[in-house]
Amino acid sequence: MPQPRAGVEDEQAFESHILERLNAKPTVAGFIQAAVELLADAIDHLVLQAFRKDDYAVKYAVEPLLEGSGPLSALPVRLKLIYALGVISRDEYEDVELLLALNNELEQGRQRYRFTDDEILGPVSMLHGITPLPPQFNSHLPEDGVDTSLLEMQKQRYQQRIQSSLVLCITELVSRLYHKTAF
């Protein structure tokens, strides 16, 4: 992942990279997985900042902690570490933890979800960084006057609004984590 730099153009390129990765996934499961991968990169960036910078320390002390069966090899453990060290806020911690749990749930299930399904909307609405979600689409129209193409278009539009809200929330969270300094 490209690292954010000081300039406005670099920041825009960094955010564009995040947007491209998120929007490249056509399914909810793929989208959430991409979000978790982006968040993992940001968390790894913060964890490495927290440790000594000299090459010897990184190679012989830090890398074994983070790799393979090291005590910090699991993303939830690294997340807890940077939260316990005060590097990230409680809201940021809870948002990442919620997305990790949602990703685990989606990986376990065999069902394909849409962004508008209750199983997705419930957790997504609990994210601290999300703007208030648009009101849920109400398809209870009189049976005899239903224009199915209009109804389908409205459902699709609602789905896109939910996905866009989530894209903006995750982009902001990843960007904010990358701009933090450990100490």
CB 165 within 8 A of CB 135: no
Please tell me the predicted confidence (pLDDT) of residue 7. 61
Mean pLDDT for the stretch of residues 24-34: 94
Statement: 8-179 belongs to CATH 1.20.120.330: yes
Measure the CA–CA gap between 163 and 71, rounded to whole angstroms: 35
Are residues 165 and 130 in contact, defined by beta-carbon separation less than 8 angstroms?
yes
Per-residue pLDDT tens for 50-92? 876 677 777 777 777 777 777 888 899 999 999 999 999 999 9
Taking residues 101-106, report their average pLDDT: 96
- Cα(130)–Cα(135) distance, rounded to whole angstroms? 14
Judged against a pLDDT cut of 60, whether residue 2 lies above it is answered with no
Mean pLDDT of all residues in 8-27: 89
Residues sharing a CB contact under 8 Å with residue 25, sequence separation 6 or more, in sequence order: 31, 33, 34
Contact 100, 94 (CB under 8 A): no
Tokens matching residue 70: 């090291």
Nearest residue to 124 (alpha-carbon basis) of 169, 87, 67: 169
CA neighbor of 43 nearest in space, from 102, 123, 99: 99
Say yes or no to pLDDT of 3 above 60: no
User: Which pLDDT belongs to residue 34?
Assistant: 97
pLDDT > 70: percent of the chain: 89
Q: Rounded to the nearest 5°, which phi and psi values hold at 181?
A: -115, 140
Task: Say yes or no to pLDDT of 143 above 80.
Answer: no
